[in-house]
C-alpha cells in the first residue's frame, strides 16, 4: 500500500514539480520511497556476491575479470604487442583513409570515448579504494586497467565491424548492433536480438542516471563549494545552475557525434593535462616519499593490513573501482568508436586499447600517488578519520592551499565531458529501438537535458543506485557476446598481421 501511495503522489505531483522548482526538494523523498524497492532488487541482482576466503566477491566483477583475462590470453597479449601500433594509428602515421565511411577521426573517437571514462570516478573512486583498502588497491587498479585493454580491443573492433550506416549518412554502432548482427552470423539470431534489446534498454536508463544526473550533481556541488558554499548565489538555485548546464550541453549534443567529437578532442587533452600537471606538482613536492609509496602499493597488494578479507578483498576492490572508471567489458566505448572513419575495424580496436591505459594505468595511478605521498596514513584507514574524495582534496591542499580550486575546476570539466559523451551512448540505444528518425533524436536529447536539471535539484540516491546497477548489468550481455564473437576477431587479427608483414617484406 505504501509503495502504491508513493507512486500515486509522484504521478500527481510531477506536473507541479516542473513549473515550481522550489517544490522539487519536497519530491526527493517521494521519488526515493517509490523507487527504492526497484533499486534494491536490481542492485542485489547485479552485484550478487559469493564468499571467497572470507570476502564477498561480486560475480559481475568475476565476469569482467574472467573476460578480460580470457581475451588477453586469446589475443596473445595484444595489450603489449599492439601498443606501439596503436600509438602510430592515433597519431596519424597509419590508416590514412580520409574517404572511408565514418564521421570522426581516430583521435576524435578516442577523445570522445576517453571523455566518457575519464571523469569524477578517477578522483572519487580511487580515493574510496585507498581509504578502504590502502595503497595495495592501486596495484589491482593497474592490473585491471592492463587486462581491460584486451576487452576494449575486441569490443571496439566489433563496434566498427558491425556498425550501421543510417539513411541520413550518420553512423550507429556499439554492442546493440554487434550483438544483433554478429550473433545472427553465428546462427543465433534470437539470442542476439534479445541481448541487443536488453543492452539498449540498460544503456538508456543508465545514461540518464550515472551519465547525466550524477555528473550534473557533482558539477553543481563543486561549483557551489568554490563560490561560497552555503552563501553561494547558486546554493538554493540548483535548478538555475542545471538550466545553464543543460543549455551548454544541448549546444553540443544537438550536432551529434561530429559536434561532440570536436568539443571532446579539445576538452579532453586540456582537462587531462590540467589534472595530471597539477598532480605531478604535488608528487614532485614530495619526491622523497615516492620510493616508499611504490613499495607500499606493491607490498600492500599481497599483504594488506587492516582490510577484512585480505588479498581477495583488496583485489575485488581494485577491480571493481577500475571497472567503474574505465568501463572495459561494459561496451560503452564501442558506441563512440563505431563512428570512426576507417575501412579496417581492427585499427579502431588498437586505438581503443589506449583508453584503459590513459584512464586507469596513468590517471588513476597518479591520483593514488598524490594521496599516498601526502596525506595517507594507515591510522586513517582504521579510525575512519578521513575517507573518499576528502583524501584527494586534502592531498592537493597539502602542497598549495588553493590547489583544491584547480581540483574543483577539473571535477566540473570531467563531469561535463562525461555528460556529453554519455548523451551519445544513450541516444544510440534509443536509435536502436526507435530508429534514426529526427524526432527520436530530438525526444531523447530533450529528455537528457531535462534530467540534467533534475540532477542539480535533487538527491535521488535510489535512482542513482539503480542506474549504477544498470550500467554494470550491461556487462552481462556484452561479455556474453564477446566470448561468442572472439574467434571472429582472432581470425581477422591474424589476417591483419599477415597482411602487414607481407607489405613490409615487399
Per-residue pLDDT of the chain (506 residues; tens, 9 = 90+): 454 554 444 444 444 444 444 454 455 566 556 667 777 887 788 888 877 666 677 788 888 888 889 999 999 899 898 898 888 887 776 655 556 665 667 677 777 666 666 666 667 777 777 777 778 888 888 888 888 899 999 999 998 899 888 777 778 888 999 999 999 999 999 999 999 999 999 898 888 877 888 788 777 877 777 776 666 666 677 778 888 888 888 888 877 777 777 777 777 778 778 888 888 888 988 888 889 888 888 888 777 664 555 566 667 767 776 776 677 788 888 888 888 888 888 888 888 888 888 888 888 888 888 888 887 665 554 444 445 556 677 777 778 777 777 777 777 787 888 888 888 889 889 988 888 777 888 888 898 988 888 777 766 566 667 767 777 888 889 999 999 999 999 999 998 888 877 766 65
In a domain, 86, yes or no: yes
In a domain, 37, yes or no: no
Q: Where are the alpha helices (DSSP H) in 228-374?
A: 238-253, 256-285, 290-302, 310-326, 332-337, 345-352, 354-356, 365-374
Domain that holds residue 499: 47-505
In a domain, 386, yes or no: yes
Domain count across the chain: 1
CATH number of the domain that 213 lies in? 1.20.1740
In a domain, 160, yes or no: yes
In a domain, 6, yes or no: no
In a domain, 18, yes or no: no
In a domain, 432, yes or no: yes
Cα separation of 158 and 489, whole Å? 8
CB atoms within 10 A of CB 359: 28
User: Is residue 176 a contact partner of residue 356, using CB atoms and an 8 Å limit?
Assistant: no
pTM listed for this prediction: 0.82
Q: For the CA atoms of the chain, what is the radius of gyration?
A: 22
Copy the grid coordinates of residue 255.
Answer: 550536432
Least Cα distance to 346 among 137, 489, 250 occurs for: 489
In a domain, 248, yes or no: yes
Q: Which residues, at least 6 apart from 44, have a Cβ–Cβ distance to it below 8 Å?
A: none
Least Cα distance to 202 among 35, 326, 46, 355 occurs for: 46
Cα separation of 491 and 496, whole Å? 9
Amino acid at each position: 500500500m505504501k509503495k502504491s501511495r508513493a507512486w500515486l503522489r509522484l504521478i500527481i505531483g510531477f506536473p507541479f514539480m516542473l513549473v515550481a522548482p522550489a517544490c522539487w526538494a519536497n519530491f526527493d523523498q517521494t521519488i526515493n520511497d517509490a523507487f527504492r524497492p526497484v533499486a534494491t532488487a536490481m542492485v542485489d541482482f547485479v552485484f550478487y556476491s559469493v564468499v571467497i576466503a572470507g570476502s564477498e566477491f561480486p560475480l559481475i566483477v568475476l565476469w569482467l575479470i574472467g573476460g578480460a583475462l580470457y581475451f588477453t590470453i586469446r589475443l596473445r597479449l595484444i595489450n603489449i604487442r599492439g601498443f606501439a601500433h596503436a600509438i602510430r594509428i592515433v597519431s596519424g602515421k597509419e590508416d590514412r583513409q580520409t574517404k572511408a565511411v565514418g564521421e570522426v577521426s581516430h583521435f576524435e573517437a578516442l577523445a570522445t570515448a576517453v571523455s566518457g571514462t575519464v571523469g569524477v570516478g578517477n578522483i572519487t573512486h580511487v580515493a574510496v579504494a585507498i581509504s578502504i583498502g590502502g595503497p595495495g588497491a592501486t596495484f589491482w587498479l593497474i592490473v585491471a586497467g592492463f587486462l581491460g585493454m584486451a576487452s576494449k580491443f575486441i569490443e571496439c573492433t566489433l563496434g566498427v565491424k558491425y556498425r550501421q550506416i543510417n539513411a541520413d549518412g550518420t553512423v550507429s554502432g556499439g554492442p546493440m548492433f554487434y550483438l544483433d548482427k554478429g550473433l545472427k552470423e553465428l546462427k543465433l539470431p534470437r539470442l542476439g536480438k534479445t541481448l541487443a534489446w536488453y543492452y539498449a534498454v540498460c544503456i538508456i536508463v543508465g545514461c540518464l542516471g550515472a551519465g547525466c544526473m550524477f555528473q550534473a550533481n557533482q558539477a553543481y556541488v563543486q561549483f557551489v563549494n568554490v563560490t561560497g558554499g552555503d552563501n553561494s548565489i547558486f546554493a538554493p538555485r540548483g535548478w538555475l545552475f542545471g538550466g545553464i548546464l543543460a543549455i551548454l550541453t544541448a549546444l553540443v549534443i544537438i550536432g551529434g557525434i561530429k559536434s561532440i567529437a570536436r568539443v571532446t578532442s579539445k576538452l579532453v587533452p586540456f582537462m587531462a593535462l590540467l589534472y595530471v600537471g597539477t598532480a605531478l606538482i604535488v608528487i614532485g613536492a614530495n619526491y622523497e616519499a615516492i620510493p616508499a609509496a611504490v613499495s607500499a602499493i606493491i607490498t600492500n597488494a599481497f599483504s594488506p593490513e587492516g582490510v577484512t578479507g585480505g588479498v581477495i578483498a583488496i583485489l575485488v576492490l581494485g577491480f571493481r573501482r577500475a571497472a567503474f572508471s574505465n568501463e572495459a567489458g561494459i561496451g560503452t566505448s564501442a558506441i563512440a568508436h563505431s563512428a570512426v572513419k576507417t575501412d579496417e575495424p581492427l585499427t579502431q580496436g588498437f586505438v581503443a586499447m589506449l583508453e584503459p591505459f590513459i584512464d586507469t594505468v596513468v590517471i588513476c595511478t597518479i591520483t593514488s600517488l598524490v594521496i599516498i605521498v601526502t596525506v595517507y596514513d594507515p591510522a586513517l584507514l582504521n579510525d575512519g578519520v578521513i575517507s573518499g574524495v576528502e583524501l584527494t582534496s586534502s592531498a592537493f591542499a597539502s602542497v598549495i592551499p588553493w590547489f583544491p580550486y584547480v581540483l574543483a575546476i577539473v571535477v566540473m570539466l570531467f563531469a561535463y565531458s562525461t555528460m556529453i559523451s554519455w548523451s551519445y551512448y544513450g541516444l544510440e540505444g534509443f536509435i536502436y529501438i526507435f530508429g534514426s528518425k529526427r524526432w527520436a533524436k530530438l525526444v531523447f536529447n530533450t529528455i537528457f537535458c531535462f534530467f540534467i536539471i533534475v540532477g542539480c535539484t535533487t538527491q535521488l540516491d535510489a535512482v542513482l543506485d539503480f542506474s549504477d546497477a544498470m550500467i554494470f548489468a550491461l556487462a552481462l550481455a556484452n561479455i556474453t557476446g564477446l566470448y561468442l564473437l572472439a574467434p571472429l576477431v582472432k581470425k581477422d587479427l591474424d589476417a591483419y598481421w599477415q597482411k602487414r608483414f607481407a607489405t613490409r617484406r615487399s
